[in-house]
Amino acid sequence: MDLQMIKLSMNQNKRYEYFIFEVFIKILIYQSINQLINVSYLFKTNYFLRVFHKLLIVNNIFIDQTDYSFLKMQGLTKKILPQLIVFDLDMCLWSPETYVLDEQPSKKIIGQLGNIGAGVIGVQCGSQILKLFPDVITILQDFYNNKYPEVKLAVASSADTPFAVKIAKNALNMLEILPGVTIRQVLQKGWEDNFEGHIQIGRTPPLSSRKSKSHFPLLLNNTGIPYTGMVFFDDCNWDDNCKHVEQDCIGVVTQRTPNGLKLHEWNQALENYQKKYSSEKHKE
Binders of Mg ion among residues 79 to 108 (CB under 5 A) are: 88, 90-91
User: For the chain, what is the total number of helices (H) and then of strands (E)?
Assistant: 10, 11
Beta strands, E only, 211-266: 230-234, 253-256
Nearest to Mg ion of 124, 209 (CB atom):
209
Scanning 9-17, 113-121, 178-186, 227-235 for contacts with Mg ion by CB under 5 A, the matching segment is 227-235
- Determine which residue in the list 235, 266, 269, 274 makes contact with Mg ion, applying CB under 5 A: 235
Nearest to Mg ion of 93, 181 (CB atom):
93
Q: Can you tell me the distance from the alpha carbon of 45 to that of 42, in angstroms, rounded to the nearest whole number?
A: 8
Q: State the Cα torsion 125-128-133-138 to the nearest 10°.
A: 50
Nearest to Mg ion of 49, 123 (CB atom):
123
Q: Select from 37, 99, 94, 46 the least CA-distant residue to 67.
A: 37
Give me the half-sphere count of Cα atoms (radius 13 Å) on the Cβ side of residue 4.
0
CB of 29 to Mg ion, least distance (A): 56
Nearest to Mg ion of 33, 168 (CB atom):
168
Nearest to Mg ion of 71, 101 (CB atom):
101
- Residue type for position 280: E
Nearest to Mg ion of 40, 214 (CB atom):
214
CB of 173 to Mg ion, least distance (A): 20
User: How many angstroms separate the Cα of 173 from the Cα of each of 10, 35, 102, 277?
Assistant: 73, 57, 19, 34
Scanning 76-84, 104-112, 210-218, 232-240 for contacts with Mg ion by CB under 5 A, the matching segment is 232-240
Cβ within 8 Å of residue 131, ≥6 positions away: 94, 95, 109, 121, 122, 175
By CB under 5 A, tell whether 265 contacts Mg ion: no
CB of 234 to Mg ion, least distance (A): 6
CB of 160 to Mg ion, least distance (A): 10
Nearest to Mg ion of 176, 235 (CB atom):
235
CB of 33 to Mg ion, least distance (A): 51
Residue whose Cβ sits closest to Mg ion: 90
> What number of chain residues touch Mg ion (CB under 5 A)?
4
CB of 214 to Mg ion, least distance (A): 15
Scanning 26-34, 148-156, 229-237, 244-252 for contacts with Mg ion by CB under 5 A, the matching segment is 229-237
- Residue type for position 225: I
136: which DSSP letter? Answer: H
Scanning 6-14, 67-75, 213-221, 233-241 for contacts with Mg ion by CB under 5 A, the matching segment is 233-241
Q: Can you tell me the distance from the alpha carbon of 221 to that of 225, in angstroms, rounded to the nearest whole number?
A: 8
Whether omega for the bond prior to residue 226 falls within 30 degrees of 0, making it cis, is no
Nearest to Mg ion of 176, 234 (CB atom):
234
Angle between helices 263-283 and 134-144 (to 10 degrees): 50
Question: Which residues form the interface with Mg ion (CB under 5 A)?
Answer: 88, 90-91, 235
